[in-house]
Chain A
Amino acid sequence: MITTKDLTYQYPQSSKISFPNITVHPGKALLITGESGCGKTTLLHLLSGLRNPLSGQIKIGESAITNFTPAKMDQFRGSHIGMVFQNAHFIESLKLIENLLLSPFVKSREKAEKVAKRLQIEEFLNRYPRELSVGQQQRVNIARAVMNEPQLILADEPTSALDNKNCTKVIDLLIDEAQKNNAALIVVTHDDRVRAEIKETLELAPLVL
């Protein structure tokens, strides 16, 4: 479960952004939409502790992450949060199975193989990332996000690079994996195709300059 309270953020030489309070329970999903530049990704980075808010509170489980030191935040993120990015980033020199096992908080190789099977990517595991299509890469990305059995999964534009067929498949898999891990899922996107899949939606207001 994740809850936020009175989150604000300020970019240097820019106006302050205030975010609405969010609560997502385990196994539930929340879609955050809004126009480009309204601070969707910023909010996601705040939630993952990659940026620090100007003010406000974020609680993941029982932990108030806004009080963490950067190094402790990295460790907390590694063990409790799974992240899916718009462009699937990989360590290019590692095979996909090695990419799955990359996190220091990975539970086991068996877990990786089980998840890979569910996502139908087990046949790619001994290949290198660049040998895969974008849709396949995004499925590996989802697999990696749940390798640490996270409490929270944060997805940033996970479908924008995909065609319709892959889009539905990837978002279904994402929701499915979040539920199997009993994790709260937050998807940030401007992709309208996702609206059909996630009922609960939060639309961020455009930034007032």
Chain B
Amino acid sequence: MRTQSMHFKARAGQKLADARLQNNLKKLSEKFVTARAAAITEISDFEGTRSAAVERRNRALEQLDLWLETFERNARARGAHVLYAGTHEEATRLIVDIAKKHNVRKVTKSKSMVSEEVQLNTALSAAGVQPIETDLGEYILQINDNEPPSHIIAPVIHKDKEEISALFARAHATERKTEITQLTREAREVLRGHFLSADMGVTGANFLIAETGSVAIVTNEGNEGMCTIMPPKVHVVLTGIEKVLPTLEDLATLMRLLPRSATGQPISNYLSILTGPRRDDEPDGPEHMYYVLVDAGRTGLLGSEFQEMLRCIRCGACMNHCPVYQKIGGHAYGWVYPGPMGSVLTPSYVGLENALDLPHAATLCGQCSVVCPVKIPLPDLLRKLREKQWERHLRPWYERVAVGVWAFAATRPAIYALGARVAARALNWMGGSAGRIRHLPLGGGWTATRDFPAPSGRTFRDLYRERRSGQRAA
């Protein structure tokens, strides 16, 4: 996916002006936020489970090389191939080569954000292989001219039923349907043909299990099973190297948190744990199984002050609860991962200089870290990215000047007191009798949407000094 993160401000502005999108985004708080709040009360010790999940993810990451080797050994023992890709291009080249080797013409895909990251569909199409998205949301986006997802688990959250209904009628050349069940039946009928005629299935991975060499995949639609167990000869798992867990015990802990944090479900409709290709005594499964494990910036976070970001289990809770994401949706962020987790990942993976606004596009309200099932301190990480930008002089000159002038005064109490006194008077005068400023010089960002309540006119330090001398005189 091409990075558009440099245009965050302009894109966010467009999204704010899109009344339909604004209405569709209400689903986030109405559905996900409410459902999660109810779901976390269903387990007796949600906070304790979070702490346990943090420990288990940390254990995996602290010796990631060891667990990857363990995973690789066990996956190979069960007949799977394990390949590593340092870059996006390497990942797509490996998968295109696999497709060529097995004479693949059609690929069915289960949802994978890493496939968005490496732009797999573009690479497959260029190689003459037809990729078919089978997650309903991803399928909708694919038939809408390969529109990118706007959310990591609800890719089509930005659209409403009417838009999808019109799109289906257009793309499928069918009569317009009005009921959701009619629409899903129509999608199912189209996809069934693809499932039966595909040669290869590509899935993501929610987790890799080192001790068994397995992949764990969560879906609600069961489409993953159709991509991997049904006809395809080849199953390719495409995921990031950080997704490994040492044991099935770890998976059990994380699965208590993942669906609850994501959609408020106690458990997803489907959870598949797949281990190697079909064996002789097994009735189904692919003939060949490959893992393509992508680095593409991840080892750069290991051992750094951003390592905690690698704990992320891609539940989407941070964006569901983010006041900024709730107002602008995912497309404004301009790359694969939106919301708070995306504002940390995007600068980390595509370069700080290519995503200047993202670390600042947050109120630092802290709600994301409150709901994160693996307690990633997202506001702290955003602030650390701001520090990196400051150190590298990536912020505009006027910000440096503003902070510099302010810091100069704030460390010199006499100058500061004078400045505060003058500012309080001047702004009070500007507020006039209504006590409100409608246009604030240098603060146009504020006064475009709200008044600035005018200061009372005197500073506290002046009033307090007067009060004290009055008391002494009396």
**Do A and B associate with each other?**
no
Q: What is the interface of chain A, defined by CB distance below 8 A to chain B?
A: none
Q: What is the interface of chain B, defined by CB distance below 8 A to chain A?
A: none
